[in-house]
Amino acid sequence: MVRIEDYAMVGDLHTAALISTEGSIDWLCLPRFDSPACFNALLDTPESGRWILAPEGGGECTRRRYRRHTLILETDWETEDGAVRVIDFMPPRDEVADIVRIVVGLHGKVRMKGQLALRFDYGHIMPWVRRDSHGLHAIAGPDSAYLVTEAPLRGQHMQTVSEFTVKAGERVPFVLTWAPSHVHRPRSVDAESVLESTEKFWRVWAGQSKVTGPYKDAVERSLITLKALTYAPTGGIVAAVTTSLPEQLGGPRNWDYRFCWLRDATLTLQALLAAGYTAEAAAWRDWLLRAVAGDPADLQIMYGIHGERRLPEMEIPWLAGYEGSAPVRIGNGAAGQLQLDVWGEVLDCLSLTRNSLLKHTDEAWDVQVALMEYLEGAWDQPDNGLWEMRGPRRHFTHSKIMAWVAADRMVRGVRDSGLPGPADRWEALRDTIRDDVMAHGYDAERNTFTQSYDRPELDASLLLIPRVGFLPPDDPRVIGTIDTIQRELTEDGFVLRYRPQESDDGLPGDEGVFLACSFWLVEALLGAGRRRQATELFERLLALRNDVGLLSEEWGVQSARHLGNTPQAFSHFALVTSALELHQQRTGRSDRPLASRAGRA
């Protein structure tokens, strides 16, 4: 059984592959993050497509690591006869996609076995495969792939098998190249040359970071992971590289996360700016502005990596699902939901940009005014909420608070930056929304905010109240909410998004604790003056990372396993901002850049 945390990632800034501790590439979509997968064993059996390269005896590796400051994976096995290493990486994309695997003999001699099973279109299509002078050529519809190696190859049971012995000091490269089937065969890369150039690329990129201090290594690994989740041509950042990894093992809460969520916008920008990655921050902001262009009423919660709006959801019945967790879904039907918080998220993000640049002009101001004018007439409607609930629409407290955020940021744009707009009207709206939230979203008897109006359930998004500036972090009502969430919405000290059985989210089953929400609790505790508690929780969360520093979406307290899609951008961005604020020993508002000292984690 391969656990979710047994996977490491390599990528080329267009897509990414997941590689298990057994040396098997079990997930890879080509040519983009959101393309159909050609290796699908993650969500089914090895027959649905994988590429394993390991000692003949198989089994988990002895150890593995990323080369420092890079996304180059090194996996070692020690056997009775010797030791061997497999180096896995994807060179930053040029015209085509390459995945490179180099087998290195460390000492003694090791008998190796490789098995390559390409299965395009999520395992549905078996390609035609033929030998040529360089290795193999596989073709199926729009896809073609070329395997180049000096190792022996043979066909067996609809797979390509390679068996060879590697001795100390020997290096045996394999290069798998994808290209559109209608173009001529692309040039083959030299494995050792692109290893050198790929290592240089990542070391130069990591060297731009301003982060130092006790959490530097954890923050750097998260930043490299986030860079790998970035689609370089557009600057869009996918939520994860996978689809349908379950929030409950064997359950139906399985979603496609290979898209870009607006809820991540401000956290993304704040983390990138604080760490010194201004080019990536600018690219994300530009992606955001392109994606939201159009009728303000049509703002979506998520978009494709090019800003696509139509993300139709469908099920893939021929894949059994991770550990039988069905259905496997591609596309995401939640894209069409009404989530009023995204208007506030976008305006908060653009306010952060303006404040970070200390600009009194804003070329995107007209867009912001249009978004605000729409929200003025829509903020009091029920919606699906931050968590994309598929039950009845409600008046979610977080959605109303983010409408308050929208009005607040627009007022500040006029008052502080001299931009044109009806500040008095927006101030009045801000006050109206605040009064509405306090009347219906706050339970004075329990001294806590609640998930939705005039109902008792809790929600982790309430921990963001001080972050967005709705109330100060040491306000008694914020403290009361923190205490109630710790008492009623945690398992083993980690935070649930909400309790599905109580919240009528329209779905059966349950889910694990949500890692990003647990990092929100770190920030809330820090803001409340409970630094020791915040630090202890943060370090417990760090301990949940896998052996190469990756986090998925959720953690199963009872199973002690990662759950949900992986690696999860939301978890890693929250890790970065929590680390920076812990070092700074104070929290900041979401629309303000973290102070320069916060660059030291």
What CATH number is associated with residue 469?
Answer: 1.50.10.10
Residue 167 shares a structural domain with residue 257: no
Note the pLDDT of residue 119: 98
pLDDT digits (tens, 9 = 90+) for 372-386: 999 999 999 999 999
Backbone φ and ψ for 197, nearest 5 degrees, come out as -70, -35
Backbone φ and ψ for 320, nearest 5 degrees, come out as -75, -20
Q: Report strand pairing: 143-149 vs 135-140.
A: antiparallel
Note the pLDDT of residue 9: 98
Handedness of CA 439, 445, 447, 450 (dihedral sign): negative
Task: Out of 176, 205, 234, pick the residue that ends a domain.
Answer: 205
Tally of CB atoms within 10 A around 435: 10
Give mean pLDDT, residues 185-199. 96
In whole angstroms, what is the distance from residue 411 CA to residue 293 CA? 22
pLDDT digits (tens, 9 = 90+) for 499-537: 988 887 878 888 999 999 999 999 999 999 999 999 999
Mean pLDDT of the chain: 95
Q: Residue 158 is part of which domain span?
A: 4-205
Task: Out of 205, 226, 251, pick the residue that ends a domain.
Answer: 205
Residue 106 shares a structural domain with residue 212: no
Residue 302 shares a structural domain with residue 277: yes
If phi over 0 gives left and psi between -120 and 50 gives alpha, with beta otherwise, what is residue 143? beta
Strands (E), 184-252: 230-231, 236-237
Residue 126 shares a structural domain with residue 273: no
More confident residue, 584 or 217: 217
In whole angstroms, what is the distance from residue 474 CA to residue 196 CA? 51
Is residue 601's pLDDT more than 70? no
Note the pLDDT of residue 1: 83
Query: Tokens at residue 34, please?
Result: 């959101």
Note the pLDDT of residue 260: 96
Kindly list the distances between the CA atom of residue 481 and the CA atoms of 260, 459, 485, in Å, as whole numbers in the listed order.
Answer: 30, 10, 6
Split at pLDDT 50, 70, 90, the class of 65 is very high
In whole angstroms, what is the distance from residue 388 CA to residue 369 CA? 26
Split at pLDDT 50, 70, 90, the class of 135 is confident
Split at pLDDT 50, 70, 90, the class of 598 is very low
Residue 398 shares a structural domain with residue 286: yes
The answer to whether 593 and 211 are in contact (CB under 8 A) is: no
pLDDT digits (tens, 9 = 90+) for 458-502: 999 999 999 999 999 999 999 999 999 999 999 999 999 999 888
Residue 262 shares a structural domain with residue 360: yes
Residue 452 shares a structural domain with residue 577: yes
Give the count of domains, the chain.
2
CA geometry: angle at 236 spanning 327 and 210, to 5°? 120
Residue 237 shares a structural domain with residue 360: yes
Q: Is the pTM of this model over 0.95?
A: yes
More confident residue, 16 or 267: 16
Q: Tell me which residue has tokens 């076995």.
A: 113
Split at pLDDT 50, 70, 90, the class of 596 is very low
In whole angstroms, what is the distance from residue 257 CA to residue 238 CA? 7
Handedness of CA 557, 559, 565, 566 (dihedral sign): positive
Backbone φ and ψ for 417, nearest 5 degrees, come out as -110, 0
Note the pLDDT of residue 599: 46
Domain at 201, CATH number: 2.70.98.10
Which residues on adjacent β-strands are paired with residue 174?
A: 101, 149
CA geometry: angle at 36 spanning 34 and 39, to 5°? 115
Handedness of CA 431, 434, 440, 444 (dihedral sign): negative
Q: Tell me which residue has tokens 């201090």.
A: 213
Task: Out of 180, 205, 230, pick the residue that ends a domain.
Answer: 205
CA proximity to 65, closest of 551, 552, 548 = 548
Note the pLDDT of residue 509: 83
Q: Tell me which residue has tokens 């460390």.
A: 106
Split at pLDDT 50, 70, 90, the class of 360 is low
The answer to whether 471 and 437 are in contact (CB under 8 A) is: no
Handedness of CA 353, 231, 210, 405 (dihedral sign): positive
Note the pLDDT of residue 90: 98
Is residue 361's pLDDT more than 80? no
Residue 291 shares a structural domain with residue 318: yes
How many CA atoms lie less than 13 Å away from 350 in the CB half-sphere?
A: 32
Q: Report strand pairing: 329-330 vs 314-315.
A: antiparallel
In whole angstroms, what is the distance from residue 350 CA to residue 365 CA? 9
Is residue 555's pLDDT more than 90? yes
Residue 395 shares a structural domain with residue 273: yes
Residue 221 shares a structural domain with residue 186: no
Residue 72 shares a structural domain with residue 214: no
According to DSSP, residue 483 is labeled H
